[in-house]
Structure 1
Amino acid sequence: MNTQRPVDVHAHAVIPRYHRLLAEAGVAIPGYGTGGPGLVGEQDAVTDTDDAIARRISMMDHAGVGRQLLSAIFAPYLTDESAAVGAARCVNDAHAEMAAKQPDRLAAYAALPLPHVDASLLELRRCLDDLGMVGIALQCFCFDESLAAERFEPIYAELNRRKAVVFFHPCVNGLCSPLISQWGLAPTAGAVFEDTTIALHLIVRQIPHRFPDIRFIVPHLGGALPMLLSRLDNQLPLSTPGLPERPSVTARRFFYDTVGHGSAAALRCAVDAFGADRIVPGSDYPVLLGFESYADTFGYLQHAGLPETALHQILTANVGQLFERK
């Protein structure tokens, strides 16, 4: 993967036909049947039309970004297996079509039709072997179940065999807690807690040790994880005996993207906690467009007070390491 310019590892595109399909299956999609504002239709630059793709590339050029890696905003997780497979194929084909029009500038992670493991393995193989996708995107949770749960291990085994990249993303379920959701916190603090929790679940289940050839990306600077490492080292072994190493060491095996709503303090905390060699560029495009421009999403890194060597690692060097074939 060419990394002379930053690679945005965390970007999305609105695929209207896919979102319509999910809405018809009963998934709450903003802009479909809600009567309120949503992603769809607000900015045609975030869709998959030819004109919109051209505007996306122009925006990337203005920001100095070389490539975007696309993942689904809403995962194709449906209880009906055939519906889940149809939704996964829809979004994966749409992303593959976008990437084929700009192969040097766009690529995509595969979405899987969870919770259906056998069907997900088939779609994983189709996407990586036939569609040429760069990795797999998983939401932190499938309904009320962690993606670190034991029954999903066949997927990790296949990903480990392929030495694949796995990108996690919040599903905005508020951790199934009314103390989050009923207070309107699911998209804000809830998403951060999802990032933190899936990383902790992976550590507790020893996923990075049992499947050591998978490279994981945890979004949003790891949520609250950078501030918990010492506490985890002190206390987690008491409730989870038998861990192969200190939790802080395992946490430094993950990569983390830079999506932080422009918070230089959060970025510096993550760099200090994990090391500059574990941080990769991300934008969460188009989610933050109401708050900052696409260029500003990366511009805040330049003004965070990081050493030039650390900034170079984050912006250009680490993605090459992340996606290199071992």
Structure 2
Amino acid sequence: MRSRRLWGFVSHQCRSHETKLSGLSSEKDKRLIDVHTHVLPRRYMAFLAKQGISRPQRLPPPSDAPPGNRMTPWSDSAEDVDMRINLMDHAGVRQHILSPTFAPYLEDKAAAATAARLVNREIAALVVKKPDRFRSFASLPLPHIDEALAEIDYAFDVFGMDGATIQCFVGNRSATDPLFEPVYAELNRRGAVLFLHPCVNGLCSKFVNDPSLELSLGPPLEDTVIAVHYMISTIPNRYRNLKIIIPHLAGGLAMLLRRLDNQLPLVASLAEPPSITARRMWYDSCCHGSSAAMNAAIEAFGADRIVLGSDYPFLTPHETYGETIGFLARLGLSDSALELVLRGNAEALLRQERRPSAEPACFRAAP
């Protein structure tokens, strides 16, 4: 019964996609790369539960919920993976770059290292099974530097992961805290992609969290603040081989660059104007279908700095996956700009093809 209901939901998503999406359905166009997609490895979540970690999270609704109110299931079960691939096919998306939503940021070093290895192994196992459809970003056991550096080595060299992901804030530290300099240095040495993601802490502000705005308003605020932190830290300027992706078009950054050029030098010692530093980073396209936000970002950053990102599956209760992808084709962008956003920029960032060097048994080992 569950399978019938779930596949009914897929049919709803695909039918809606077919009526909304245009220009991306030919075989030639089925090469899109979505850099901002999430997976919920079941063993990893079970491990976190054993550590006593409980935090608000949006899990898939009951299988009998109406299709229009459902979020696509996103675990690593075979059924959920098949559903994901079906939706990818209908949206013309070739690959998902997978990352978890919950970082392995545990106080105990050993537990954090175990959690990071577990989530990376579980996600890498999906990539091994479907290497043409999935790639992945490695999670790091921050704030523990030695353990994080060891995990970079293992995740890149053994699991063949394509980059790393760090949350905008690690506990009470910014992702740009000087403590993390060795991590940036190593990722830069490798010419790696670093994908940022909000931790949904509402910037630790009662003005965001008390009205329960940490999910609706908090993430774009985090994105904006961390982008400015990168400007102040000069990390993008000092680590030129590091490819930083900030999600959700970096919140409100596009409309703030002129203001930051004028006023940020008054309070910080910068390597260059913020508008220049902004173009040393990349930004994913997840903006809940806002043409105003996307056009502002392209004007501010350039089409060569925008990559396709859906935040899969978090928009699926509100629109189909095909609609999330397809709105970009309706913005009136030039063919060359659309090509860059939908695949060209991501292909350039991920041009270093990685493949796991481990035997399959590595992915079945106990953490």
Q: 1:23–1:29: 8 Å Cα contact kept in structure 2?
A: no
- Bigger shift: residues 211-220 or 304-313: 304-313
Aligned counterpart, 2:135: 107
- For 2:182 and 2:61, how far apart are their aligned partners in 1? 35
Tell which structure's C-alpha radius of gyration is larger. Answer: 2
Q: Give the superposition deviation at 1:324.
A: 3.0
From 260, 284, 287, give the equivalent of 2:314.
287
Task: State the one-letter code of the partner of 1:69.
Answer: I
From 145, 162, 171, give the equivalent of 2:173.
145
Aligned counterpart, 1:118: 146
- For 2:180 and 2:329, how far apart are their aligned partners in 1? 39
How large is the RMSD of aligned CA atoms in angstroms? 1.8
Aligned counterpart, 1:311: 338
Q: Give the superposition deviation at 1:4.
A: 6.5
Q: 1:222-233 alignment to 2 at 5 Å?
A: 222-233=250-261
Task: State the one-letter code of the partner of 1:15.
Answer: P
**SS of 1:93 mapped into structure 2:** helix
Q: 1:279–1:314: 8 Å Cα contact kept in structure 2?
A: yes
Q: For CA contacts below 8 A with separation 6 or more, give which structure has more relative contact order.
A: 2
- For 1:52 and 1:283, how far apart are their aligned partners in 2? 17
Q: 1:138–1:169: 8 Å Cα contact kept in structure 2?
A: yes
Q: Give the superposition deviation at 1:220.
A: 0.3
Q: Give the superposition deviation at 1:322.
A: 1.6
1:15 maps to 2:41: yes
Aligned counterpart, 2:287: 260
Residues 91-113 of structure 1 show CA distances to partners (whole Å, capped at 9, x for unaligned) of 11110011111001101100001
Structure 2 residues not aligned, in runs of 5+: 1-28, 64-70, 353-367
Task: State the one-letter code of the partner of 1:26.
Answer: G
Aligned counterpart, 2:326: 299
Q: 1:174-185 alignment to 2 at 5 Å?
A: 174-185=202-213
Q: Give the superposition deviation at 1:28.
A: 2.6
Aligned counterpart, 1:38: 59
From 69, 74, 80, give the equivalent of 2:108.
80
Q: 1:133-172 alignment to 2 at 5 Å?
A: 133-172=161-200
Q: Give the superposition deviation at 1:62.
A: 0.5
Q: 1:54-73 alignment to 2 at 5 Å?
A: 54-73=82-101
From 203, 215, 221, give the equivalent of 2:249.
221
- For 2:77 and 2:334, how far apart are their aligned partners in 1? 40
Aligned counterpart, 2:235: 207
Residues 150-184 of structure 1 show CA distances to partners (whole Å, capped at 9, x for unaligned) of 01000001001101000000000011111111111
Aligned counterpart, 1:34: none
Residues 9-47 of structure 1 show CA distances to partners (whole Å, capped at 9, x for unaligned) of 00011222212222332333447xxxxx63487667411
Task: State the one-letter code of the partner of 1:160.
Answer: N
- For 1:259 and 1:185, how far apart are their aligned partners in 2? 18
Structure 1 residues not aligned, in runs of 5+: 32-36
Task: State the one-letter code of the partner of 1:309.
Answer: S
- For 1:49 and 1:169, how far apart are their aligned partners in 2? 24
Task: State the one-letter code of the partner of 2:167.
Answer: Q
Residues 53-84 of structure 1 show CA distances to partners (whole Å, capped at 9, x for unaligned) of 22211111000001000011110101111111
**SS of 1:67 mapped into structure 2:** strand
Aligned counterpart, 1:5: 31
